[in-house]
Structure 1
Amino acid sequence: MPAHGPAGSATEELSGMWLAGLRDCCRCPRLVAYRQSIPARAPHRPQDYHNAPVAGFGDEQARIWLIGLAPGAQGANRTGRPFTGDGAGDFMYPLLHEAGLCSQPLATAADDGLRLHDLYISNAVRCVPPANRPTTAEFQACQRYLQQEWQRLPCLRVVLALGRESFLNLLRLQQQSHVLRLADYPFSHACCYRLPTGHWLLGSYHTSRYNLNTGRIDAAAFRQVLDLARKLAARPSGESG
């Protein structure tokens, strides 16, 4: 299993890395109110729930950054770790493990021992939204945390955005410092673009239960984008598409 950087090093795993101001962030009143209203689902108790902004986690030397939409009500909002404890993660982590990007195929809790290799994972919005639909203002409020993560990933080569909204949010983040037209970057599954920063931006259909149940994405389709991400990450710096 290829790991990027020294396995077991202090910098390899940033599980629960708290960005400046994230832990106490209350900038989105709708999200603060909603996460406090979510009922516990047996066998879990209300005190078992994270019910707070969810930090990203992974390999500090990662060349690949996977960005989802937002925490799930009974997933990351409960466990405190992205894609952990829900159907999207149950689908995704075995495939990440097959690709050599994580240490185990199961993700059940923030302290389950799972470690990421050459991969960092976070969400575009850090608090669970009603109906899994963040507003434009909520995306904007969390962009500061995406920018902080970008700055803390010095080896980053590839950004893999799950879903159209996460993909567009990454482009809007780029617009803050570079001139680009969203129309020049249409979203589709396995789309691939070189950003003005030199990083690669990949798009993937989200691994949500809805997309899985409707067949919009399956294991083969997700492996396709993972293989592409790994190939791009391994290219020599400066090599174009």
Structure 2
Amino acid sequence: MTPSTASGLADLDQRIAGCRACPRLVAWQEEVARTKRAAFTEWTYWGRPVPGFGPADARLLILGLAPAAHGGNRTGRMFTGDRSGDVLYQALYDVGLASQPTAVSVDDGLELYGVRVTSPVHCAPPANKPTPQERDTCRAWLVQELTLLRPTLRAVVVLGAFGWQAALPAFAEAGWPVPRPRPAFAHGTQVTLHRGDGGDGAEREDDGGAQLTLFGCFHVSQRNTFTGRLTPEMLRDVLRTAAQAAGLPHTG
């Protein structure tokens, strides 16, 4: 990791947090922050776009959908303070990629090992459903994040079909062309992208690897985890495989 990468991500995170490009999302997240949920009346909600979380030299990226209204929109950190995050961070801890199994606030001491967590939409949307225009407006942030992570990034776990559809154009814009027809989302699917700048798939010391492996995984939504569509073991299996592809140490 170079100092410019770290400072670039810090600057990007700050600019994301100040974005007001989508009026519907701005209005919704600010309204949620004012009215709150009864269980969190003592909280001062973040109520802004939520930037990515994790080290600037991450080799593995986990890509979700958007912050939860009373999770990331409350705490200011991706997948923190909601049940989806409970499932995700427990699994990351189980496979040796997180320092602790819980994520409750930005000052809870959680560290991720070689992993960064982000989303294609940085604002909490009504009914957890961003519009296509909101998704496309937010894509520029993801492209910038991918570009900054490019020297070390080797693998991406994409949670859910929405994230998959939103992310593929961003990978292409960041320099990893996507095959045509575009690969379909499925749990457990793997797709290898090769850099489009004349690379032959070999790694280069000056700009990291020329190959990126994408892994599809059902989203850690309550609908999926409560019904058993996504079990903890299924999630751990995807994370272990992705960590191996990324060259990260992991358990099991």
| 2:62 and 2:157 in contact (8 A); partners too | yes
SS in 1 for 2:67: coil
SS in 1 for 2:105: coil
Distance 1:55 1:135, change over 3 A: same
1:184 Cα deviation from its structure 2 partner: 4.0
Correspondence 1:60 to 2:73: no
Distance 1:180 1:229, change over 3 A: closer
Distance 1:178 1:152, change over 3 A: closer
What does 1:121-140 correspond to in 2, within 5 Å? Answer: 121-140=117-136
1:225 Cα deviation from its structure 2 partner: 0.5
Distance 2:234 2:60 in 1: 18
SS in 1 for 2:15: coil
Map of 1:29 onto structure 2 = 23
Map of 2:245 onto structure 1 = 232
Map of 1:156 onto structure 2 = 153
Map of 2:163 onto structure 1 = 166
Structure 2 counterpart of 1:205, from 208, 213, 218:
218
| 1:76 and 1:85 in contact (8 A); partners too | yes
Distance 1:41 1:170 in 2: 31
SS in 2 for 1:200: strand
| 1:94 and 1:105 in contact (8 A); partners too | yes
Correspondence 1:219 to 2:232: yes
SS in 1 for 2:17: coil
Aligned residue type for 2:160? G
Correspondence 1:88 to 2:101: no
The TM-score with structure 2 as length reference comes to 0.83
- Over the residues paired in the alignment, what is the CA RMSD in angstroms? 2.4
Instruction: Give the percent of matched residue pairs that are identical in Structure 1 and Structure 2.
Output: 38
Distance 1:93 1:180, change over 3 A: closer
1:23 Cα deviation from its structure 2 partner: 2.4
- 5+ residue gaps, structure 1: 236-241
Distance 2:23 2:146 in 1: 26
Aligned residue type for 1:44? F
Map of 2:193 onto structure 1 = 195
| 1:70 and 1:128 in contact (8 A); partners too | yes
What does 1:70-149 correspond to in 2, within 5 Å? Answer: 70-149=66-145
1:21 Cα deviation from its structure 2 partner: 2.9
1:183 Cα deviation from its structure 2 partner: 3.4
Aligned residue type for 1:81? R
- 5+ residue gaps, structure 2: 196-210
Larger CA deviation: 29-38 vs 167-176: 167-176
Distance 1:18 1:215 in 2: 39
The TM-score with structure 1 as length reference comes to 0.86
SS in 2 for 1:199: strand
Give the length in aligned residue pairs: 226
1:78 Cα deviation from its structure 2 partner: 0.1
SS in 1 for 2:191: strand
SS in 1 for 2:127: helix
Distance 1:80 1:18 in 2: 16
Distance 1:58 1:95 in 2: 16
Structure 1 counterpart of 2:181, from 177, 180, 183:
183
Distance 1:215 1:178, change over 3 A: same
Q: More helix by proportion, 1 or 2? A: 2
